[in-house]
């Protein structure tokens, strides 16, 4: 059994976003949805709903993004002697 990076898809309140995908990427997304449906035994009624969890997974595992996010959240002192 193949281990995919995505698991079961949770329901969450969506924010509407419109994107355009290259045809090859759209085709890959449809194929990914088929494999995911088999792996999780969960019907994927709309493969486009995979985009959000895929994007979230990508950002959550991007070490550079995590480091940048941490450095932005740290308060920086304007006084060099304090």
> For residues 75 and 81, is the Cβ–Cβ distance under 8 A?
no
pLDDT attached to residue 74? 75
What pTM does this model have? Answer: 0.69
The tokens of 71 are what? 């450095």
Residue 6: the pLDDT is 74
**Mean pLDDT of successive 10-residue segments in the chain (82 residues)?**
73 84 97 94 91 91 88 71 55
What 3-state DSSP class applies to 71?
Answer: helix
Query: 8, 38 in Cβ contact below 8 A?
Result: no
Show me where the domains of the chain are located.
Answer: 44-68
At residue 1, the pLDDT reads 63
* The pLDDT of residue 80: 59
């Amino acid at each position: 059994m193949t281990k995919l990076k995505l698991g079961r898809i949770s329901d969450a309140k969506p924010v509407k976003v419109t994107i355009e995908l290259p045809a090859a990427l759209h085709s890959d997304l449809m194929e990914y949805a088929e494999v995911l449906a088999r792996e999780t035994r969960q019907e994927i009624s709309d493969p486009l709903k995979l985009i959000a969890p895929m994007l979230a997974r990508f950002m959550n595992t991007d070490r550079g993004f995590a480091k940048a996010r941490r450095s932005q959240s740290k308060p920086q002192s304007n006084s060099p002697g304090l």
